[in-house]
Chains A and B, each alone.
Chain A
Amino acid sequence: MITFENVDVVYPNGFKGLSSVNLDIKQGEFVAIIGLSGAGKSTLIRAVNGLVPYTGGTLTVGDTVVDPRNKSKLRQLRARVGMIFQQFNNVGRISVLNNVLIGRSAATPTWRSLIGWYGAEDKEIAFQSLERVGIVDKAYNRASALSGGQQQRVAIARVLAQDPEVILADEPVASLDPPTARQVLGDLRRIQQDLGITCIVNMHHLDLARDYADRIIGMRGGEVVFDGPTAEATDSVIEEVYQRSLTAEDVAAVEVPVKLDELAPAADDDLHAATADPAAGGETGGKP
């Protein structure tokens, strides 16, 4: 479905984002990409729909070779490849429904977009997408009035309105609290399986990747350093990807509900730290 053949990305400032990446992602796979910040996860995802133009090798989506220079072909490709972002990237001042209808842009004549008059069919698709993510009741609310989890669902609905073959998700749950992150990712996984959409997702949290993905790709320094089914992504393998031992933060995305009295000492600690903070700040500030 998506094939990387020796794909390189060199940014205009000379930074090497990807170096000779070879991947073959199959139809209907849910792939999680893990790696530290700057490992090239975002670059890899954005290369697929041409948001970041790749500079070497061949990148194919379906039968189409991605051509970053051909803008109209790129638009045709992007119509088939939806994308979800960490910061949701909804337009805050317009309604949820209109946000979802942005996903219909490629299928809508420009003049219709211009006067904001979408056809009944487009609206039907938009409503179906909203029903799929379970926020159809918010259709006429302003997007900015929604909570983080709901906003990300709007973004997913926008992508679904494109009727995509591929969904790219760049840290889709990194701005959400852990339980919401699980719900949103669960929705994405369910929809992806229902519709047979190929899904590539960047993630911070290892356990989320393990729980939801079919396949895990580990990246470091712009290279793919691990690629295998989720079962093979053991702790030692991931430590190899991260080049350090795993910490609690890598794994724990959702803690077991903590009792209040267990929380109390920690809160007390924080209070003291806050009292001592000005002095500590002055101290560190004085050091060369």
Chain B
Amino acid sequence: MTSMRQQRIPPLVAKQAGSPEVTAVVEPSTSAGAPAAVQRPERPRPPLQSYLLLALVAVAAFAFFWWTREDTSVLFIPLGFTTLWAPQWPLIGFAVMLAVLVLCWLTRTGAMAAFGALAVVIMSYWAGASIHFLDRIVEVPQRLTTGNTRDQLLGYLNPDWSYLLFSNVAGTSRPIWGEWLITLCMAVVATLIGCFIGLLLAMLASPVSSPNKATSQTVKAINSVVRSIPDVGWALLFAAFIGGTAYGLGALAAVLALIMFNIGIVAKLLGESVDAVALGPLEAADAAGANLVQRDRVAVLPAVMPSFVSYSLYVFELNIRASAALGVVGVAGIGGELSRQIGRMSQGYENVGAILWALVLVVLLVDLLSMWIRRKLL
């Protein structure tokens, strides 16, 4: 094989024996009898028709955006003898679409990829226009520097640390920092239980490790339902079922909500890790006469253990963060205190600011801790 290549294509630079300083450049096709070198192919040009079709799509999008526009500003284009006009934003969008198509044509991009690029432009125009994104975002600097927002911002930037460290929760003798502890404990309990159940469900959901297809499909469906309800949704549900802070059960409602939230995440992510596990060791366990539980334990679990630890730490972080949001629905922990402070925001933003900054700090610390654990374990 190698010798055949040798004959067909001589080395470009051949060293002459005996006179090492002389180098001769040998042209590839000069040697007689060698087959003619085949031209290197050029990148094929995509069919023009498909690009014309794409241009038609761009025109249609332009017409649609013209028709549905709410901003009536118009751009005038003087041509000397007459002046054309067009709606400003749709025209700019159309220009971008055409520019994308031209760029794709010049780089000989395939029709499908060009369609993808065009679709991205059209989708972002449509989505942005529907929520008046550009109109609103240009107002932001002005909003930040005037009126209420300015005071709020200043409050956030001057957090009242003494409130956070030395005050009690309004109407009780519990210190504020105790709420942080409750939040942390909620996160720990929810992570432990949620990740364990998530692990079991992931094992049942993946066709690799579940007893049969029916089980895996069913569990997958259950997982989707669990995942489709957001954490706040679960908190509302549990607060309604078993009562919120008012009954002294706020922490339980929050923990149950976080558990469901964690099950959804871990079962989904870990289920995909299990899907991707190497099948060789599983076959070896099968061949050794292991039953399904044994096989999952000895061959699947060790393989997904790093992912599991990693996801669990991630979920722990999420729990700390989520418990702040859960406070809004009246559950315990720092979230509850945060929502109380938001309720009395008209009296100043320093307290909310202190909680938010502390939240950033705590999440950062948890992140560092989990990074350290991950490094030690894996």
Question: Which A residues lie at the B interface, using CB under 8 A?
Answer: 49, 51, 75-79, 81-83, 85, 87-94, 98, 101-103, 105-106, 108, 110, 113-114, 116, 155, 158-159, 162, 168, 269-270, 272-273, 275-277, 279-280, 282-283, 285-287
Contact = CB atoms under 8 A, between A and B. Distances in A.
A269 B2 CA distance: 7
Q: Which 7 A-B pairs give the minimum distances between C-beta atoms?
A: A106-B289, A105-B290, A79-B289, A89-B280, A83-B287, A78-B289, A89-B284
B38 A286 contact: yes
B41 A285 contact: yes
B287 A51 contact: yes
B9 interface: yes
A246 B43 CA distance: 43
Interface in B270-324: 280-281, 283-291, 293-295, 297-299, 302-303, 305-306
Contacts of A90: 281, 284
B289 A270 contact: no
B233 interface: no
Contacts of B289: 75-79, 105-106, 162
A141 B39 CA distance: 56
A75 B306 CA distance: 30
Contacts of B306: 93
Contacts of B12: 275
Given A91-B302, A93-B303, A102-B299, A282 B40 contact: yes
A155 B305 contact: no
Main secondary structure of the interface of A (DSSP, over half): helix
Nearest to A72: B291
A82 B291 contact: no
B297 A114 contact: yes
Nearest to B300: A91
A273 B2 CA distance: 6
B188 to A, nearest CB: 23
Given A91-B303, A106-B289, A279 B294 contact: no
B305 A93 contact: yes
B293 A102 contact: no
B376 interface: no
Contacts of B38: 282-283, 286-287
B69 interface: no
Contacts of A272: 2, 6, 11
A159 B285 CA distance: 10
A134 to B, nearest CB: 21
Contacts of B9: 276, 279-280, 283
Contact of B6 (A78, A82, A91, A269): A269
B8 A113 contact: no
B287 A91 contact: no
Which of B28, B288, B305 counts the most A-chain CB atoms under 10 A from its CB?
B288
B280 A87 contact: yes
Interface residues of B, number: 36
B298 A98 contact: yes
B346 interface: no
Nearest to B1: A273
B3 interface: yes
A75 B298 CA distance: 16
Given A98-B298, A283-B9, A110 B291 contact: yes
B5 interface: yes
Contacts of A273: 2, 5-6
B37 interface: yes
Interface of B: 2-3, 5-6, 8-12, 28, 37-41, 280-281, 283-291, 293-295, 297-299, 302-303, 305-306
Nearest to B40: A282
Contacts of A155: 284
A4 B288 CA distance: 22
A49 B6 CA distance: 50
Nearest to A162: B288
Nearest to B35: A283
B287 A276 contact: no
Given A51-B283, A78-B286, A110 B303 contact: no
B299 A113 contact: no
A177 B257 CA distance: 56
A102 to B, nearest CB: 5
A105 B302 contact: no
A106 B283 contact: no
B280 A105 contact: no
A52 B11 CA distance: 51
Nearest to B2: A273
Contact of A275 (B11, B37, B290): B11
B293 A93 contact: no
Contacts of B294: 105, 108, 110, 113-114
B8 A91 contact: no
Contacts of B280: 85, 87-89
A286 B40 contact: yes
Given A91-B303, A159-B288, A272-B2, 4 more contacts: A49-B287, A105-B288, A270-B2, A276-B6
Contacts of A101: 298
Contacts of B39: 286
A280 B37 CA distance: 10
Contacts of B28: 279
A275 B13 CA distance: 10
B290 to A, nearest CB: 4
25 contacts: A49-B287, A51-B283, A75-B289, A75-B290, A82-B287, A88-B280, A89-B281, A90-B281, A93-B302, A93-B303, A94-B302, A105-B289, A105-B291, A106-B288, A110-B291, A110-B294, A114-B294, A159-B288, A162-B288, A276-B11, A279-B28, A280-B9, A286-B38, A286-B40, A286-B41
Contact of A79 (B3, B40, B288): B288
Given A93-B302, A114-B297, A282-B40, A158 B288 contact: yes
Contacts of A92: 281, 303
Contact of B293 (A85, A103, A113): A113
Which of B37, B283, B284, B294 counts the most A-chain CB atoms under 10 A from its CB?
B284
Contacts of A277: 5
